[in-house]
Chains A and B, each alone.
Chain A
Amino acid sequence: MNDISPVLWQFLVKWMTNFALFPPEASRIAPQMDALLFFMVLVSLIGLTVVVLLVTSFSILYSKERHPVAVQVEGSTLLEATWTIIPLGLFLVMFVWGALIYFRVFTPPANAMNIYVVGKQWMWKAEHPGGQHEINSLHVPMGRAVQLTLISQDVFHSFSIPAFRVKREAIPGRYTTVWFEPTVPGTYHLFCTQYCGTSHSQMIGDIVVLTPEGYKKWLAESTSGASLAQNGERLFASLSCAACHNARPNARGPSLANVYGARLPLASGGTVTADEAYLRESILNPSQHVTQGYVPIMPTYQGQISEEGVIALVEYIKNLDSDYRIEQTLNTTDLVPGSEGNAATGQAAQGPAKQGQAGKNSAGQGMVKQ
C-alpha cells in the first residue's frame, strides 16, 4: 500500500484511526444537542435520498431513448400540498425542539457557580470568585453547573467550547451569560469564533474539566491571595463609594446590602431586578437607573474602571449581606494610599483605545485606570 505517497498514507491512517463526526460530548447539554442534530441529519438524508432517487429513476425511465414521447402533465394540487405540508411540519418540529435546547443553554440554574470572563484582543481572561485569574484557559469542576458572565473590552468575541456544544458572544458594553455542566474530566478546545482582528486565530485556549477534588486542589494552588470580592471591596474603598452608599440615616445613596437579586423601584417608574448587568450599568451610567427616593448625583465611572474592576465591584456588591462591611470600608477608605488621586486622574481615560491597556494587573489599585 505504500506505493501511495507515504505522507498521504500517513494522513489517511491518522484520519481513519481518529475519525469523528462530532466532538466529544463533555457536558450535560451535549447529548441533547446531538440528539437533535442526529434527528436533523436523518431527516436531511431521507429528504436528499428521496430527491436523488426520484431524479435518477426518472432520468432512467424517461430518458429520450426509452421514452421519446414526452407526456405533458399540468401539475397536481395534491402533490403540491404534500410537499408543502410535510416539510413545513418537519421544520416546525425542528423549530420547537431547537427552541427548547436554546432555552436550556441560556437559562442557568439558580445554584450555578459564576465565573467572569473578559474577552480582549486577543486573549480570554477568566476571573474566578476566589480571585484566581487565568489567561486563555478555564478550569471548571465536573458535575457542577457553571455560569459564565461574559463581556468584551473591545470588539465582538465569541466564547466557544465545541465539546460542551455551547457558544456565546462576548460583546462590548454588556454582560452576556451562558452556562454548562461538565460531565467528563479532560482538556477541551476553547475557541474565539467571532472574527476579532489580526490574531483572531490565536485567541484559543483550553477548557480543563477537573474532578471536584482536583478543582479544590487547583483553586488552593492558584489563589492570588485576595478573593474577587475582596479586590472589589478595596476598589469600593479607594473610589470612596461608601461616602454615599453607607447605610447611615443621612446617606445620599441607597444601601447596597442584599441588593443583589432584589427588585428595585426606579425613580423613572417601574421596577428592575438588580442582576450583574444592572449593577454594572448603575456604576457606569448611574443616572439612567436611579432608584426611587434618590437624586441622580452619583458620578459615572465610565472610562475610569477597567472591566475587571467593574467585575470585582459587582462581585463585592453581590456578596454584600450586611452594612457592617460597608462601615469597615468607610474606615479603611483613607488607609488606601492615593486612592483619591486614582479616582480623579481616571477622567482622562476615554474610548476603547485607552481601555485596551487597562486591567493588566488585578489588585484593586490596578483596576482603577492610571
Chain B
Amino acid sequence: MPDSPAIAHGAPEAAHHEHPPYLRHHFENVEQQADAAGFAMWLFLLTEVMFFGGLFTAYLIYRNWYYRAFVSGSHQLNVYWGTLNTLVLIISSFTMAMGVWCAETRRKSGLVLCLILTFILGLGFLGIKSIEYSEKIEKHHVPGLHYSLQSFLDPDSDAAAKAAGDKPLPLDLARHTEVYFSLYFLMTGMHALHMIIGIGILGFMILRARAGAYTAGHVTFVENFGLYWHFVDIIWIYLFALLYLISRH
C-alpha cells in the first residue's frame, strides 16, 4: 500500500546528491549529519558540566564552612606538579586543536603527529597525577579508615606543611581536612577517569588516522573528540585554581 497522497512530496532525496560512504541512511545530506553529531556532542558536554557541577557545589559549600582546613589541605598539594600538569594539559589541548585543523585541511601526517603528541601529553599528565597520588597515599591523606591528621596537628613533622609555614590546627578543625581530601580525590579522580577514557579513544583514533580515515573530508569524529578533550582541559583549569591555589602566601 503506497503512502496516501495526503502530503505534497518532495523529490526523492537520491536525486539531489550522491551518497558518500559515511552518510547514514536516515540523513538527508552530509551537512545535516555533521550538524547533528556536533550538536549531540555539545549536549553530552552539558551533561558532563552538570555531573561535575554537583562536585563543584559541594566544594564551594565546604570551602566556605572549613576555610582553614581547606587551606592547610591545599598546602599538602605540590603546586609545582600542579602547574606542570596544567601546562601539559593546555599544550595537549593545543595539539588537539591543531589535529582538528590538520584533519579539516586534509593533512594526514600532521594529524597523526598531533594525535600522537596529544596522546603522549595525556599519558604524561596521568603520570604526574599518579606521582601526586602516591605522595598522598604515603602520607595517609586518602580519606577513610587510615586517614591521618598528623600533618595538620603537628605541621613541623611534615615537610610540605612546614614549608607553607602552617600553624598546628586544633583537632576539630584538622578533622575537616578529610572533607577537603575527599573532594580533592573525587574531583581529580573523576577528571583523571575522563582523561583515561580520552586517551583510550585517542589510541584508537591514531590507528584510524594512519589509515587516512579522517583526512578524506569526514572529520566529525575528530572534531567531536576535540570538543571532549578541550572540555576535560577546562575542568582541570578550574580544579587547579580551586584545589591547588586556595592560599599560598
Contacts and interface: CB of A to CB of B under 8 A. Distances in A.
Query: Are A and B close enough to touch in the complex, i.e. CB under 8 Å?
Result: yes
A254 to B, nearest CB: 16
Interface stretch (A87-95, A204-212, A294-302, A359-367): A294-302
11 contacts: A284-B172, A285-B172, A286-B170, A286-B172, A287-B169, A287-B170, A287-B172, A296-B170, A298-B170, A299-B171, A300-B175
A298 B171 CA distance: 9
A288 interface: yes
Interface string B159-191: 000000000011111010000000000000000
Secondary structure type dominating chain A contacts: loop
Closest 10 CB pairs of A and B: A300-B172, A287-B170, A285-B172, A287-B173, A296-B170, A300-B171, A287-B172, A286-B172, A302-B172, A299-B171
Nearest to A300: B172
Residue in B169, B171, B172, B173 with the greatest tally of chain A CB atoms within 10 Å: B172
Contacts of A297: 170
A265 to B, nearest CB: 19
Contacts of B172: 284-288, 300, 302
Nearest to B174: A287
A152 to B, nearest CB: 20
B58 to A, nearest CB: 16
Contacts of A287: 169-170, 172-173
Interface string A99-130: 00000000000000000000000000000000
Contacts of B171: 299-300
A297 B169 CA distance: 10
Given A300-B175, A302-B175, 9 more contacts: A286-B170, A287-B169, A287-B170, A288-B173, A296-B170, A296-B173, A297-B170, A298-B170, A299-B170
Interface string A263-286: 000000000000000000000111
A284 to B, nearest CB: 7
Nearest to A281: B172
A300 B170 CA distance: 8
Nearest to B168: A296
A300 B172 CA distance: 6
B7 to A, nearest CB: 20
A49 to B, nearest CB: 41
Secondary structure type dominating chain B contacts: helix
* Interface size of B as a range: under 10
Interface of A: 284-288, 296-300, 302
Nearest to B170: A287
Contacts of A286: 170, 172
A288 B68 CA distance: 9
A350 to B, nearest CB: 10
A284 B175 CA distance: 12
A200 to B, nearest CB: 28
Nearest to A297: B170
A12 B122 CA distance: 74
Nearest to A290: B170
Contacts of A284: 172
Contacts of B169: 287
A246 B169 CA distance: 25
A136 B34 CA distance: 66
A283 B60 CA distance: 26
A302 B172 CA distance: 8
A300 B153 CA distance: 13
Contacts of B170: 286-287, 296-300
A285 B176 CA distance: 10
B169 to A, nearest CB: 8
Interface in B121-179: 169-173, 175
B69 to A, nearest CB: 10
A299 B171 CA distance: 7
A269 to B, nearest CB: 12
Contacts of A288: 172-173
A297 B175 CA distance: 15
Nearest to A287: B170
A284 B170 CA distance: 12
Nearest to B167: A296
Interface string B187-231: 000000000000000000000000000000000000000000000
B21 to A, nearest CB: 48
A295 to B, nearest CB: 10
Residue in B169, B171, B175 with the greatest tally of chain A CB atoms within 10 Å: B171
Nearest to B65: A288
Nearest to A301: B172
B20 to A, nearest CB: 45
A325 B183 CA distance: 46
A287 B173 CA distance: 7
A89 to B, nearest CB: 35
Nearest to B169: A287
A40 B102 CA distance: 66
Nearest to A303: B175
A103 to B, nearest CB: 26
A285 B170 CA distance: 9
A241 to B, nearest CB: 16
Nearest to A286: B172
A288 B65 CA distance: 9
